[in-house]
Chains A and B, each alone.
Chain A
Amino acid sequence: MIFLLILVFIVIGLIEVPVLIRNKHWRELIAFSFFLLVAFIMTLLQTLGVKLPSPLNSINYLIKDILHLNYG
């Protein structure tokens, strides 16, 4: 499973990176690598069975517990 995941990310890298390097789009390359790294870490943790916190938790906390604005 992890092997498959790494393979998919390598394929995505092979699709995108050569074009970016050929056109000398370094800024795009940095943004692409950053988002791909985030995606890789998230999917890897999920494949390993780590339970990630939902991004809605913070919104729930903000609205329910700090502002008390939620509908009952």
Chain B
Amino acid sequence: MRLEKGVISSSQLMFLVTGLIQGSALTVAFITKIAKQDIWLVVLSGLVISLFLALIYISLAQKFPSKNLIQINDIIYGPYVGKLISALYLYFFLLIIPANLRFIGDFSLTYLMPETPMSVILIMFMFICAWAVRKGIEVIARTSIILVVITIIISLFTFVLLLKDMQLTNFLPILELSLKDYIQSTHIMMAIPFGEVLVFFMVIPYVNNIKQAKSSVLLGLIIGGLTILSVTVKFIAVLGITSTIMTSPYFEAVRLIDIAGIITRLEILVAIGLLITVFLKVSIFYYATVLGIAQLLNLRSYLPLVLPIGIICISLSFFLYASPVEEVESAVSIWPIWSIPFELLFPLSSLLIAKIRRLPKKQGG
């Protein structure tokens, strides 16, 4: 019994992965305080490590074609332990949605619409996401192409316009990071934007050509990583060490664009890019959560769960963090550790157990 009838192509998968990574482009601000001007180095090393993580995920997904994470857990760990691990995974996915919603809400309250209540913004945002999820993965995949291309164009455009404000001396002193800070910031980088590729366990089964899934996920990761790299290079080159005291350094850097007093106030482009990529990210996680719950409870359709889960996410986003400061604190010191079992230990042990038990067993053999 397939819950999802849609099929996506491997190039659409690539755009989805890119969109997911780009959705975290502004959360790099979490590690500016730790990594300072060496942040681009941290982004690169996080990207390289996460390529290996993605290889683990893909080889696991290719071992069990047309099975999603919940079914894989059921096969590998047996029905009871598998269900427990799946439930933990769903909790993990579920908490990422309100965190991103809260990020959007705080961002628009700070920079765009200070007088509007956060609930209005979040409800409108979540309504669109719920709509997309109800239409299925095919629709999300098709929108992803347009949205990702827009984001890449915005990124290149602001890069070109900021060239005259960039000072390469802002990157000095280079490699001044202590080992502990370096490890911590790489870990945060790995856990928050890149490790979230994990969610594609729920999407890869619906790719029409599973053989090409590997190259498209890796390519998507690299393109998304390069976008994040360009973001960090931009704000470090323009703002230098000042960026460590700002909540959203990329936004502040783009604010400085001023071409002859005519082309100004381009920071709204950054906000648009943020909104559309976070829409993609939230939709993918939302879809994975809803589909996972439907799979776990053996339902025939995931559609009835979309609205209740959406309301729960909006409600959670209000009391998840008391303040943006707490959000950064949690993202920096707690969340990376909390994500280790999900992003590293469970997939690795699943792969090992599948090897030892010689899974998947041949039908009728």
Contacts and interface: CB of A to CB of B under 8 A. Distances in A.
A10 interface: no
Q: Which bracket fits the contact residues of A?
A: 20 to 34
B333 A46 contact: no
A36 to B, nearest CB: 4
A52 B300 contact: no
A7 interface: no
B319 A54 contact: yes
Select the residue from A15, A28, A64 with max chain B CB neighbours within 10 A: A28
A22 interface: no
B300 A59 contact: no
A67 B334 CA distance: 11
Interface in A20-39: 20, 25, 27-29, 31-32, 35-36, 38-39
B320 interface: yes
B315 A25 contact: no
B187 to A, nearest CB: 8
Contacts of A54: 319-322
A52 B319 contact: yes
B301 A27 contact: no
Interface string B71-106: 000000000000000000000000100000000000
A6 interface: no
Contact of A56 (B293, B294, B311, B321): B321
Contacts of B312: 35, 38-39, 42
Nearest to B297: A31
B23 to A, nearest CB: 20
Contact of A28 (B95, B299, B334, B336): B299
B304 A39 contact: no
Contacts of A64: 334
Given A12-B311, A28-B300, A39-B311, 4 more contacts: A31-B305, A55-B320, A56-B95, A60-B330
Interface string B304-339: 110111011001101111100000001011101110
B220 to A, nearest CB: 29
Contacts of A28: 299-301, 304
Main DSSP-derived SS at the A contact region: helix
A24 to B, nearest CB: 10
10 contacts: A12-B307, A20-B304, A27-B300, A28-B304, A35-B309, A39-B311, A42-B316, A56-B330, A56-B334, A63-B338
B215 to A, nearest CB: 34
B45 interface: no
Contact of A71 (B297, B304, B322, B336): B336
B315 A43 contact: yes
A38 B94 CA distance: 14
B298 interface: yes
A35 B304 CA distance: 10
B184 interface: yes
B324 to A, nearest CB: 14
Contact of A38 (B294, B299, B303, B308): B308
Contacts of A36: 307-308, 311
A12 B85 CA distance: 31
Interface in B198-225: none
B334 A70 contact: yes
Contacts of B320: 54-56
Interface string B167-189: 00000000000000000100000
A18 B95 CA distance: 31
A27 B290 CA distance: 15
A15 B211 CA distance: 40
Given A32-B304, A43-B315, A55-B316, A71 B184 contact: yes
